[in-house]
Amino acid sequence: MTKDGAPALRMDSVRKVYPTGDEEVVALDHATLTIDHEEIVALVGPSGSGKTTLCSIAGGILSPTAGTVVVAGADITGYSARRLTDFRREHVGFVFQTVNLVPFLTARENLLVVDEIGRRTGAPARKRADQLLEELGLAGRGRHLPATLSGGQRQRVAIGRALMNDPDLVLFDEPTSALDTQLGEQVMELIRDEMNSRGIAAVVVTHDERMTHYADRTVHITDGVLEGSPPR
């Protein structure tokens, strides 16, 4: 459970406008969403509908143009960039579609790199990394460079990295889109089990409706508007 029993995420009337040249792109409008602690929400929508924008705002990578964002009971809406960085490190995990492991570090080092900037360092961090690698079925792969891992293994390293700091909320942006269906199912199952056993809430972005049965709830997004949100 989050520190004070607050929902893992509360977004209220969030709007995001990207200024691009002479035209503005409204990527998110009136987005209102509450995610309970320990809840897994699938976010489904076509390309360009605002899924990555929503995740970036929920995780404090981007600031909203309007509206409020409360993560694990903390209203991060007005946080400075510096404070957001600290907040993310303590409370949020990210897993991206393109995995983005550091190519010249081993699987184990990719987990540890989080902690060089995080709160656990030295021996406790190495112990935690080894424990996570084992739980994720990568015990024998700690010394492998990403290029020598399979797609599913790389995705599992990315999941391990997101779990290193015991986050309250993990944002998965299309974690299965680079995987075939069977591997995608395995990774979704792993995500669900890891989140459930740790009591962590998650948003899982997917294009694939078949993946949504691993979530507690599915929310659709179209043209920056979440289904069920109040009308503009």
Ligand X SMILES: Nc1ncnc2c1ncn2[C@@H]1O[C@H](COP(=O)(O)OP(=O)(O)OP(=O)(O)O)[C@@H](O)[C@H]1O
Q: Residue 192 in contact with residue 40, Cβ under 8 Å? A: yes
- Stretch of residues binding ligand X (CB under 6 A), selected from 44-52, 63-71, 162-170, 185-193: 44-52
Between residue 32 and residue 51, which ones bind Mg ion under the rule CB under 5 A? 51
Please, which residue, 142 or 175, has the CB nearer to ligand X? 175
CA 74 to chain centre: 17
Judging by beta carbons within 10 Å of its beta carbon (0-12, 13-18, 19+), is residue 230 exposed, middle or buried? exposed
Which of 32, 35, 30 minimizes the C-alpha distance to 9? Answer: 35
- Stretch of residues binding ligand X (CB under 6 A), selected from 19-27, 79-87, 116-124, 158-166: 19-27
Q: Does position 18 bind ligand X by CB under 6 A?
A: yes
Give the Cα separation of 142 and 150 in Å (integer).
13
* Among the listed residues 3, 48, 104, 181, the single contact to ligand X using CB under 6 A: 48
Identity of the residue numbered 36: D
The neighbouring-strand residues paired with 12 are 68
The neighbouring-strand residues paired with 10 are 34, 70
The least distance separating ligand X from the CB of residue 53, rounded to whole angstroms, comes to 3
Q: Does position 47 bind ligand X by CB under 6 A?
A: yes
* Among the listed residues 51, 120, 128, 154, the single contact to ligand X using CB under 6 A: 51
Q: Does position 60 bind ligand X by CB under 6 A?
A: no
CA 85 to chain centre: 15
* Among the listed residues 33, 37, 49, 108, the single contact to ligand X using CB under 6 A: 49
Q: Closest residue (Cβ) to Mg ion?
A: 52
Q: Which residues in this chain contact ligand X in the complex, by CB under 6 A?
A: 18, 20, 25, 27, 45, 47-53
